[in-house]
């Protein structure tokens, strides 16, 4: 594991060979609370997985990695248009042609992307051509591609309700409502490795709910054993590209 400064924002490369991070710095204004105030430093570094080869690459705030191994970032909070830094050329460019939305997540085959925008969920081809925008009057909490195929799931939050789980069976298809909770909160979901089921973390009721994705409302309650399942939810992110391995 590569050592990084405490409080840094960080992300592994797609092949988990490189580690990008943005150290934090103390806020300029004094904060009177139990916790220290920190913010992103606006300096991006990359290091190899064994802790060697550390180097500063560019100024900006870390967003993550693109599917082709570039580092997603934006220059400033005032104009947070995503860019991608190419480590080989040392140059930054658009993440996708004409793309000015959040850093997208890629489908398993790399041919489609999805992202959360102010208008809802945007699904596009890998060349940036938009396939559809799914509008939502509710906040989009999380989006996740299935580990196989081209199915996308997303959750909404009404603050305080309702909370909904949708599935999009193919990039151009209309979303299907798989589950709705009118009076209690959920956010986190994760796909099964075969892409046939979705596990929802119902932490407020101390359980997981396992859904079949081919049938509305068909679910099974499981004990919430603590932590997260082996094929699990992303950590510190409300987006997921398939599944995340736990160590």
Residues 112 and 90 placed together within one structural domain of the fold = no
**Tokens in use for 120?**
């809802």
Q: Are residues 124 and 159 in the same domain?
A: yes
pLDDT tens digits along 76-92: 888 889 999 999 999 99
- Predicted local distance difference test score (pLDDT) of residue 184: 74
pLDDT of residue 242: 36
Q: Taking the CA of residue 9 as centre, how many other CA atoms within 13 Å lie in the half-sphere pointing to its CB?
A: 21
Is 221 in the same domain as 122? yes
Tell me what percent of the residues of the chain surpass a pLDDT of 70. Answer: 86
Question: 46 and 22, same structural domain?
Answer: yes
From 198, 149, 197, select the one nearest 169 (Cα to Cα).
149
Collect the ranges in the chain with pLDDT lower than 70: 1-3, 29-36, 217, 226-247
Q: Which of 68, 95, 122 is the last residue of a domain?
A: 95
Which among 62, 78, 95 is the end of a domain? 95
Domain around 63: 1-95
- pLDDT of the residue at 173: 97
Q: Are residues 119 and 206 in the same domain?
A: yes
Q: CB within 8 A of 73, min separation 6: which ones?
A: 44, 58, 60, 61, 62, 63, 82, 83, 84, 85, 92
* Whether residues 85 and 130 fall in one domain: no
- Last residue within a domain, chosen from 78, 95, 112: 95
Q: Do 158 and 118 lie in a common domain?
A: yes
Q: What is the pLDDT of residue 245?
A: 32
CATH of the domain at 147: 2.130.10.10
User: Do residue 127 and residue 184 come from a single domain?
Assistant: yes
Nearest of 63, 140, 145, 71 to residue 112 by alpha carbon? 145
Is the same domain home to 172 and 110?
Answer: yes
């Amino acid at each position: 594991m590569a050592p990084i400064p405490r409080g840094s924002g960080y992300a592994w490369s797609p092949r988990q060979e490189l580690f990008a991070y943005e150290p934090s710095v103390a806020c300029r204004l004094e904060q009177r609370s139990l916790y220290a105030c920190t913010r992103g430093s606006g300096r991006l570094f990359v290091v190899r997985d064994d802790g060697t080869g550390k180097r500063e690459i560019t100024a900006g705030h870390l967003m993550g990695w693109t599917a082709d191994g570039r580092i997603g970032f934006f220059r400033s909070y005032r104009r947070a248009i995503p860019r991608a830094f190419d480590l080989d050329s040392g140059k930054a460019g658009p993440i996708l042609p004409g793309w000015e939305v959040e850093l997208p997540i890629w489908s398993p085959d790399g041919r489609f992307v999805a992202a959360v925008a102010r208008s809802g969920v945007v699904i596009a081809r890998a060349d940036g051509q938009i396939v559809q925008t799914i509008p939502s009057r509710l906040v989009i909490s999380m989006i996740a591609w299935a580990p196989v195929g081209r199915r996308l799931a997303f959750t909404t939050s009404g603050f305080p309700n309702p909370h909904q789980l949708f599935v999009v069976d193919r990039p151009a298809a209309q979303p299907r409502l798989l589950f709705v909770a009118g009076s209690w909160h959920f956010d986190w979901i994760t796909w099964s490795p075969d892409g046939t089921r979705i596990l929802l973390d119902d932490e407020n009721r101390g359980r997981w709910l396992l859904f079949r994705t081919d049938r509305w409302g068909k679910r099974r309650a499981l004990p919430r054993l603590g932590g997260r399942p082996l094929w699990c939810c992303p950590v510190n992110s409300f987006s997921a590209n398939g599944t995340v391995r736990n160590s």
